[in-house]
Amino acid sequence: MNTLGNQRPTRTEEFKLEGGKVLDKIKELIHQGNIRRITIKNEEGKTLIEIPLTIGLVGAALLPVFAAVGALAAVASRMVVSVEKLEED
């Protein structure tokens, strides 16, 4: 568990996914809420994209994020999605 200054503590989860399933998982995670940051890495652990999510980031603001994730998923067979979540009160 991490704490970021005076903010609520966070925890990190990782998911190993096939390229075609990454975009669906990202959409599912964003829909759940309480996500602070999503990082997509290749199998070797190199960060491909880091997506900071702020409160109120919804709808059309997420279209570029989905496009970038879709492009990455098209070229990579397996990826690791690391999710930093805010701890529940």
CA distance 82 to 78: 13
Domains of the chain, by residue range, sit at 10-86
The pLDDT score that the predictor gives to residue 46 is 92
The pLDDT score that the predictor gives to residue 74 is 77
Closest CA to 15 of 89, 75, 82, 65: 82
In the predicted structure, residue 73 carries a pLDDT above the cut 70: yes
Note the CATH architecture for domain 10-86: 2-Layer Sandwich (3.30)
Mean pLDDT of 78-86: 89
The pLDDT score that the predictor gives to residue 82 is 92
Residue showing tokens 């990826």: 79
How many CB atoms sit inside 10 A of residue 86's CB? 16
Cα end-to-end distance, the chain, whole Å: 14
Confidence label for 59 from pLDDT (cuts 50, 70 and 90): low
Q: What is the pLDDT of residues 5-58, one digit of tens each?
A: 556 788 999 999 987 888 888 888 878 778 888 899 988 889 988 888 775 556
